[in-house]
Every structure is written in structure tokens, then in C-alpha cells.
Structure 1
Amino acid sequence: MRPLPCTMSGTAVRKLSAHVVVYLLIALCLYPDDDYEEVAEKLTSMPASMPGARWEAPTRGAITQARQRLGFETVREVFRSQKDRLREAGR
């Protein structure tokens, strides 16, 4: 998978990096009846259950901010590229 063409600038280290946000968006599509925090909890339950872990699922606000940082164009490109790969695999 090629690097995401993010709209972010700088090199800040974040809990919700670009690739984590993309995974979260995909998971939100898989669990349409769950809210942001429930889906994030499903994705992070393994890291949180490890001995000595101090991981907490991100809040709704953190997820919203991360989606905005990522940008619409990036998300659209990710979903388009996956759609194209699935189409090619079906041939």
C-alpha cells in the first residue's frame, strides 16, 4: 500500500495517526449501527487488554478531529484505490 497523501503538515506524533484513522473509517463502515467510541473500542480492545497497557480508546471528539486532519480527498483516494483493487481481483 502506498503512503497516504495526507493534508497534514508537520510531524506531530498522535494516537490517531493517518493509517489508524483509515482503519477506523473502514471499521465504521463495517459496524454502521455503532457509534464512533464503540467501534474504536472494538479496534483497541486488544492493546488495552495487554498487561501494563495504558491505552484508552479515543473519544468522539478526537476521532472527529483526526478525520478532519486526514481530509476528504485522502479518504476518497483510499476507498477508490481499494475499490479498484477489488474490481481487479474479481476478474
Structure 2
Amino acid sequence: MYFVLAMCLFSGQGYEEVGRLLTQGLERERRWSKTWRVPTSGAIGRARLRLGAEPMKALFARVCRPVALPATTGAWFRGLRLVSVDGTTFDLPDTQANAAFFGRPGTGRGQG
């Protein structure tokens, strides 16, 4: 979980750098073995594939709740909860399955 969340925080970094950033303070605090090395990007990618999406789905189901209660002033309009989207984007592999599910981004000259 920590690694996936750290990938969101350090979205411009590769897997190995995210691993290094996550563990860099542990050695100083004597909570990490000096012989341990950050796994390669390939090893991390394979581990993520083996793990699948279920742990993140379980975390989301356990902790995700609306912030506004029915009595929260300003959170409702005509009985509907107001929400916003922050514009976060994710890089996905360029596969036919992803294109079929998510579509492709448009361009100024038409469809993507």
C-alpha cells in the first residue's frame, strides 16, 4: 500500500527511485538492513501484477466515505451532494484493452 501511495506522491519518479525515497530514512533510524537493496523496476512491476488490484479496492472500501453529512452547509444543491474532480491524470500502457475501456484523449484536431 505504501508503495502505491508513494507512486502517486512521486508521480514523476520511476519505481526504483520511489523505493529509495520510501526507505531512505529507515537506515538512519536503524530500522533497515544495510544489505537490502531497492528491487529493480522489473521486479516491482511483476510483484504488482501478482498482487493485483484487490488490496487497493479493499482499502478504498474500508476508508472512503463522503466528508459532508446531510447537515453540512454548502455541500448540497437541491438535494444533491456537490463534488469536484481534481484533474489528476495517469499514464497507462498503450494497449488495445486500455483504449477500449478508457478511450483515447482528444486533440485540437479531432479524435485521438
TM-score of the pair, normalised by structure 2: 0.48
Number of residue equivalences:
67
Q: Please, which runs of 5 or more residues in structure 2 have no aligned partner?
A: 70-112
Return the letter of the residue paired with 1:61: G
In the alignment, structure 1 residue 77 sits paired with structure 2 residue 65: no
**Corresponding position of 1:35:** 14
**Corresponding position of 1:16:** none
TM-score of the pair, normalised by structure 1: 0.57
In the alignment, structure 1 residue 55 sits paired with structure 2 residue 36: yes
Q: In the aligned structure 1, how far is the partner of 2:33 from the partner of 2:2?
A: 24
Q: In the aligned structure 2, how far is the partner of 1:52 from the partner of 1:64?
A: 23
Q: Is the 1:47–1:55 contact (alpha carbons within 8 Å) kept by the matching residues of 2?
A: no
Shift in Å at residue 72 of structure 1?
Answer: 1.5
More helix by share: 1
Bigger RCO (CA 8 Å, 6+ sep): 1
Alignment CA distance shift 1:53-1:29 (3 Å): same
Q: What is the aligned-residue RMSD (CA, Å)?
A: 2.4
Shift in Å at residue 52 of structure 1?
Answer: 6.4
Seq. identity, %: 34
Shift in Å at residue 80 of structure 1?
Answer: 3.5
Q: Please, which runs of 5 or more residues in structure 1 have no aligned partner?
A: 1-21
